[in-house]
Amino acid sequence: MKNTTQVWTLLASLVGGALIGMPAAQAASYNSSFVTPVNPIPGAGIPTPKQVPGKEYADSPNKDQNGAADAGQSLLWDGNGGVADGFDFGDQEVDALANYGDALFYEVIHNQAALLFSTTGDGVAPILSESITGVGAVWATAAQIDANGVNDLDGLEVWGPEGVPDANRYSLLREILMVYRCMLWAEHH
């Protein structure tokens, strides 16, 4: 079972992301042929980003597929640096992404599948993993996620249909901060 620190780490992935910067570059075209999908199954194995279909993320500040600021924009990514615009959730910063039927959600909660997460200020990589045995590793580098660079990965959703955004649950920056503050208050009282 994940301990309290790990649960807070999961929450931290919703509140912030890894601080990884790269110089602006020509957008790499999203190409779903880079993805060789495997089925989501619980266990000790952790598939590579190229094996996990339907990857979406939100950077902070939110940006479009060309790296231009675009509040509310999520991005599809292919695991080889190619991105495409996903859903546009409006004119406020998106801070968390999910799908109501997320694969392996309960398995992660019960420590039967790896946890993917990001943290604010983590200079190692935008997305890290923790196996069911507690071993941490880099899951995806900035270059694998977006050729334009990743500033501060905030929202991550995986195991959706390839090439089609399916994050149908999201949180805006101010909403998640209020939830976080309430949880901190509850923990100390």
d(CA 140, CA 184): 29
Query: CA nearest 138: which of 125, 120, 154, 148?
Result: 125
d(CA 165, CA 84): 10
Question: Could you read off the pLDDT of 136-154 as tens digits, one per residue?
Answer: 999 999 999 999 899 999 8
Q: List alpha helices for 98-172, DSSP H.
A: 105-109, 142-145
Q: What's the predicted TM-score (pTM) here? A: 0.77
d(CA 167, CA 58): 11
> Over its length of 189 residues, how does the chain's per-residue pLDDT go in tens digits?
333 333 333 333 333 333 233 334 456 799 988 888 999 999 999 999 999 999 999 999 999 999 999 999 999 999 999 999 999 999 999 989 999 898 999 999 999 999 999 888 767 799 999 999 999 999 999 999 999 899 999 899 999 999 999 999 888 876 544 444 555 566 665
DSSP letter assigned to residue 51:
G
